[in-house]
Amino acid sequence: MNEAMKKPVIEVNGIGEETAKQLNGLRIFTVGDLLEHFPFRYEDYQLKDLHDVKHEERVTVSGIVQSEPSVRYFGKKKNRLSFRFLVNQVLITVTFFNRAFLKSQIAVGSELTITGKWDQHRMTITGSELNRGGEQKEQTIAPIYSVSGKLTTKAIRKFIYQAMNQFGNEINEILPQELLQTYKIPTKKEALSRLHFPPNAESMKHARRRMVYEEFLLFQLKMQAFRKANRDRTNGRALPISREEIEHFIKQLPFPLTAAQKRVVDEIMQDIQSSYRMNRLLQGDVGSGKTVVAAVCMYAVICAGYQAALMVPTEILAEQHVQSLKSLLEPFEIRVELLSGSVKGKKRAERLAMLESGELSLVVGTHALIQDDVLFHNLGLVITDEQHRFGVEQRRVLRDKGENPDVLFMTATPIPRTLAISVFGDMDVSIIDEMPAGRKQIETYWAKPDILERVLDFIEKELLAGRQAYVICPLIEESEKLDVQNAIDVHMILDQHFKGKWKVGLMHGRLHPSEKDAVMESFSQNETQILVSTTVVEVGVNVPNATVMVIYDAERFGLAQLHQLRGRVGRGEAQSYCILLADPKSEVGKERMKIMTETNDGFVLSERDLELRGPGDFFGAKQSGLPDFKIADVVHDYRALEVARQDAVNLIHSKEFWEDKSYEGLRRYIEEQGVLNGQKID
Ligand code: ADP
Ligand code: MG
């Protein structure tokens, strides 16, 4: 950005010290910040036909008052005013809260224009604005800004207007002419002006498109520059991989690898063999066979004389991985051990010593792996499973334990492409998009909770056929204690119901690790037929004989999580079932349950979930790692994001970009990000 844009906001006429301070509170420090304080929405004063308005949408209508307004008071300050209103032959109710003073302006037979939120079921508008007469306002779409303290939207509009007058001519174009022409988008100055003072909706959208593209392009350029810098810097190690040894190992697996598994193994091997440090994301749906891929890669690294570490989020998962890796790798005389919170005292000291001496070549663990006293002899490969559960910081700590080990992040949460390329824009991505042959689709049903009896009958039928069932209990956010209580209650009900016939186990996060082990062991031996659990079984648990997954209060879960849970069944030969007990109230909630019954494809689900809930919700609050875009929205604008990414890739690798004058603005931006000289990659 150029000099004028970097001036403190106080240089705008009309902004004094006090106002500047308040603007600072909104993270507006410079003139540029002020001009890029975009409206978070627009009030649309264009008159609309109520038939075209969706439930809960904001609307402006004009009509004739049909009844004297009645006012009700609730206590001293609260009141509700309402009256009947005829809009284009449709009789509706208009309600205003705490604005009894409007009463004098509302006379039967007079014409008014009302803006507010439309409730389709009650045929009511909850008003936010009232104007006399049926005339449209002159500015039909008005920007609304996020404000705080004494600042109002009106005041901000005034400051921006003033800033545009004073500094508008100094707004530099950062995008080259060529891109403006290709996409037929306005200049930055034009775009800013139209966004803040939209002459009409069309022109505002056009302007928005430009700013969205710019924001995505800058972000992607930064990511791509990081990626290129990482690759150019040969700070990794080229491990000597023997293809024959790998082939031999793959041949003696109990099953042939799928084509997708082979492909990702190749991709990962190339990274490991090359001299740059691998930074790769491996995505694959539940059951797509990521563990085997991990095993092949770790085997290869260990054969080359290095150590490998696998970090997982839970104790249960760690133990399962140890089991399956042992069975795969011990025939090759590779030692696999666990390092987790439950490994203590002498045992722990022993394992630490073996890691440091290099005697132990493969360690699987939880957070215990990143403690200070864990030292490796020569760590060559770090794999994290369910990577989004680990913070960036934890991943960095583990990576720093070796000298630039290669890093592979595995996730079974199919991250929609749109999100993957924005969150993990600086990573390479491998995808296992194929299931091992012979997998049956899990039949999924959505039922109201009041047919629990029938669900229990269904479970019993499967048990009689020799199968087992999971029952997952309501998830109550923010409170593990309540989750546990729920599981205990449900366990009691089922235990009563099946008394003397079947054994019902109980699993939750508050059990001691050894108790958890016992419960899991009993279930996997089919000594327990039904396992009531909180979501601790979500990842990784593998009991192929289980064919029924019942999920209570399914509407409380994200689709990605429901899919994870559902993935606990369908792991054997038999047909499996998932029953979602849910009574969602909202349309979105119902839609989500329906989608679950319609597809088993995790990628399809995650795309739909993203559309329905938005990216923040997708991973759970604050975990998404998404950058804070000022105007762009990764869900809504995902096409633009893809275009911007492709453009960024092309630009970064083109000669013109680094030499041509027209790209100077973009180049300077990258330099300012400290990508090219900085060492930080994360
Ligand atoms: P993920 O970790 O991706 O959820 P796993 O690696 O746990 O999946 O694999 C799920 C199951 O499928 C395991 O029992 C595994 O042995 C089996 N499996 C993996 N790859 C194949 C394959 N190519 N053919 C048949 N079965 C496979
Ligand atoms: Mg797995």
Nearest bound ligand to the CA of residue 439: 1
Closest-lying ligand 1 atom to the alpha carbon of residue 544: 14
272 inside domain: yes
Cα–Cα distance, 374 to 398 (Å, whole number): 10
Q: For residue 219, how many C-alpha atoms fall within 13 Å in the half-sphere facing its CB?
A: 26
Region of 200 on the Ramachandran plot (φ > 0 left; ψ -120 to 50 alpha; else beta): beta
| Ligand 1 centroid, distance to 435 Cα (angstroms) | 8
End residue of a domain, out of 109, 132, 155: 132
Q: Which residue has the tokens 């009991």?
A: 543
| Ligand 2 centroid, distance to 342 Cα (angstroms) | 21
Tell me, yes or no, whether 16 and 89 share the same domain: no
Q: Are strands 90-97 and 78-87 parallel, antiparallel or unpaired?
A: antiparallel
Cα-flanking dihedrals φ and ψ of residue 585, to 5°? -90, -30
Q: Which of 251, 252, 253, 255 to mutate to test the pocket of ligand 1 (most atoms within 8 A of CB)?
A: 255
DSSP labels, 485-554: HHHHHHHHHHHHHTTTT--EEEE-TTS-HHHHHHHHHHHHTTSS-EEEE-GGGTTT---TTEEEEEETTG
**Cα→Cα distances 309→37, 90, 295, 376, Å:** 46, 68, 11, 10
Tell me, yes or no, whether 453 and 583 share the same domain: yes
Give percent of the chain above pLDDT 90. Answer: 47
The CATH number that applies at residue 106 is 2.40.50.140
**How many structural domains is the chain composed of?**
4
Q: List the shell of residues around ion ligand 2, using CB closer than 5 Å.
A: 290-291
Confidence of residue 161 (pLDDT cuts 50, 70, 90): very high
Tell me, yes or no, whether 35 and 159 share the same domain: yes
* Residue range 183-207: mean pLDDT, rounded: 92
- Identify the residue with better confidence: 380 or 611: 380
pLDDT of residue 293: 96
Tell me, yes or no, whether 452 and 586 share the same domain: yes
| Ligand 1 centroid, distance to 574 Cα (angstroms) | 16
Q: Indicate which residue's Cα is closest to atom 10 of ligand 1.
A: 287
Q: Indicate which residue's Cα is closest to atom 15 of ligand 1.
A: 289
Q: Indicate which residue's Cα is closest to atom 25 of ligand 1.
A: 436
Cα–Cα distance, 491 to 131 (Å, whole number): 59
The model's pLDDT over 80-139, given as tens digits with 9 standing for 90+, comes to 999 999 998 889 999 999 998 899 889 999 999 898 999 988 899 999 888 887 655 555
The dihedral through the CA atoms of 135, 140, 146, 147 has a sign that is: negative
CB 228, CB 676: distance < 8 Å: no
551 inside domain: yes
37 inside domain: yes
449 pLDDT exceeds 90? no
Tell me, yes or no, whether 103 and 116 share the same domain: yes
Tell me, yes or no, whether 498 and 421 share the same domain: no
Closest-lying ligand 1 atom to the alpha carbon of residue 432: 3
Quick one: tokens of 172?
Answer: 């530099």
183 inside domain: no
End residue of a domain, out of 404, 432, 460: 432
382 inside domain: yes
Instruction: Give which of 301, 295, 294, 308 is closest to 241, Cα–Cα.
Output: 301
| Ligand 2 centroid, distance to 634 Cα (angstroms) | 28
Confidence of residue 46 (pLDDT cuts 50, 70, 90): confident
pLDDT of residue 423: 62
The model's pLDDT over 523-569, given as tens digits with 9 standing for 90+, comes to 989 999 999 998 776 555 778 899 999 999 898 887 878 888 898 89
Nearest bound ligand to the CA of residue 436: 1
**Cα→Cα distances 149→22, 153, 344, 532, Å:** 7, 11, 54, 50
Confidence of residue 394 (pLDDT cuts 50, 70, 90): low
Cα–Cα distance, 340 to 146 (Å, whole number): 46
pLDDT of residue 680: 42
Cα–Cα distance, 492 to 504 (Å, whole number): 9
Nearest bound ligand to the CA of residue 324: 1
Confidence of residue 188 (pLDDT cuts 50, 70, 90): very high
Averaged confidence pLDDT in the chain: 86
169 pLDDT exceeds 80? yes
Cα–Cα distance, 249 to 301 (Å, whole number): 13
Quick one: tokens of 396?
Answer: 């960095």
Q: 68-72, 614-618, 665-669: lowest mean pLDDT where? A: 614-618
Tell me, yes or no, whether 466 and 592 share the same domain: yes
| Ligand 1 centroid, distance to 298 Cα (angstroms) | 16
DSSP labels, 605-671: HHHHHHHHH-HHHHSSTT-S-----SS--TTTTHHHHHHHHHHHHHHHT-HHHHH-GGGHHHHHHHH
Tell me, yes or no, whether 150 and 39 share the same domain: yes
Residue 375's identity, in one-letter code, is L
655 inside domain: no
612 inside domain: no
CB 668, CB 675: distance < 8 Å: no
Name every protein residue with a CB atom under 6 angstroms from any ligand 1 atom. 255, 257-258, 261, 284, 286-292, 412, 436
pLDDT of residue 624: 46
Closest-lying ligand 1 atom to the alpha carbon of residue 286: 4
| DSSP H stretches of helix in 274-374 | 290-303, 315-329, 345-357
The reported pTM is 0.65
The CATH number that applies at residue 344 is 3.40.50.300
Closest-lying ligand 1 atom to the alpha carbon of residue 288: 3
Strand partners, 307: 379
| Ligand 2 centroid, distance to 376 Cα (angstroms) | 24
pLDDT of residue 494: 93
* Residue range 470-499: mean pLDDT, rounded: 80
The dihedral through the CA atoms of 226, 228, 229, 231 has a sign that is: positive
Nearest bound ligand to the CA of residue 318: 2
pLDDT of residue 525: 93
53 inside domain: yes
| Ligand 2 centroid, distance to 294 Cα (angstroms) | 9
Q: How deeply is 461 buried, as exposed, middle or buried, from its count of CB atoms within 10 A (0-12, 13-18, 19+)?
A: exposed
192 pLDDT exceeds 60? yes
Closest-lying ligand 1 atom to the alpha carbon of residue 284: 3
Nearest bound ligand to the CA of residue 542: 1
Nearest bound ligand to the CA of residue 385: 2
Closest-lying ligand 1 atom to the alpha carbon of residue 567: 4
pLDDT of residue 675: 61
pLDDT of residue 617: 53
Euclidean distance between the first and the last CA atom of the chain, given in angstroms as a whole number: 25
Tell me, yes or no, whether 375 and 513 share the same domain: no
| Ligand 1 centroid, distance to 255 Cα (angstroms) | 9
| Ligand 1 centroid, distance to 288 Cα (angstroms) | 6
Tell me, yes or no, whether 452 and 595 share the same domain: yes
Q: Which of 249, 286, 291 to mutate to test the pocket of ligand 1 (most atoms within 8 A of CB)?
A: 291
pLDDT of residue 475: 64
End residue of a domain, out of 582, 599, 616: 599
Tell me, yes or no, whether 363 and 321 share the same domain: yes
Cα–Cα distance, 409 to 282 (Å, whole number): 6
pLDDT of residue 538: 57
Q: Indicate which residue's Cα is closest to atom 11 of ligand 1.
A: 287
| Ligand 1 centroid, distance to 291 Cα (angstroms) | 7
298 pLDDT exceeds 50? yes
Q: Indicate which residue's Cα is closest to atom 9 of ligand 1.
A: 289
Question: Beta strands of 349-476 (E only): which ranges?
Answer: 362-365, 379-385, 406-411, 428-432, 443-447, 468-472
- Identify the residue with better confidence: 74 or 610: 74
| Ligand 1 centroid, distance to 511 Cα (angstroms) | 28
Tell me, yes or no, whether 300 and 393 share the same domain: yes
Give percent of the chain above pLDDT 70. Answer: 89
Cα–Cα distance, 281 to 557 (Å, whole number): 25
- Give the structural domain span for 50: 46-132
Strand partners, 204: none
Cα–Cα distance, 299 to 307 (Å, whole number): 9
Residue 25, Cβ neighbours under 10 Å: how many? 12
